[in-house]
Amino acid sequence: MAITSAIVLYVVIWFMTFLIALPIRVKTQGDLGDIVPGTHAGAPEEHHLKKKMWIVTGVAFVIWVVVSGIILSGWISVDDIENFTRG
């Protein structure tokens, strides 16, 4: 795996993990009872983005190490995933 492939793999894993973590522990304006006029009640009041970004960075790194290890070891290859037979 080239360095560019490793970076792209990490970025894809990071964003997928971040999108999963975004709705966790979000407190909306409707939950807190303090709705700003002109906004939706479901708008976030406390989203903890900085903390989530640090947690996601660590979790994504662990997932990246596992996926990279599987790719580099050859345990699963493209031939194992491909279902099409060429004849």
Residue 28 resides in a domain: yes
Model's pTM, two decimal places? 0.77
Residue 44 resides in a domain: yes
For residue 27, the cross-strand partners are 46
- pLDDT band for position 30 (cuts 50, 70, 90): confident
pLDDT at 84: 63
- Report the 10 Å Cβ neighbour count for 83: 5
Q: Using alpha carbons, select from 15, 4, 9 the residue that is nearest to residue 70.
A: 9
Q: How far apart are CA 49 and CA 28, in angstroms?
A: 14
Q: What is the DSSP letter of 65?
A: H
Residue 71 resides in a domain: yes
Residue 53 resides in a domain: yes
Q: Using alpha carbons, select from 53, 31, 58, 52 the residue that is nearest to residue 42.
A: 31
> At residue 87, does pLDDT exceed 60?
no
Residue 87 resides in a domain: no
Number of domains in the chain: 1
Range of the domain at 75: 3-79
Residue 84 resides in a domain: no
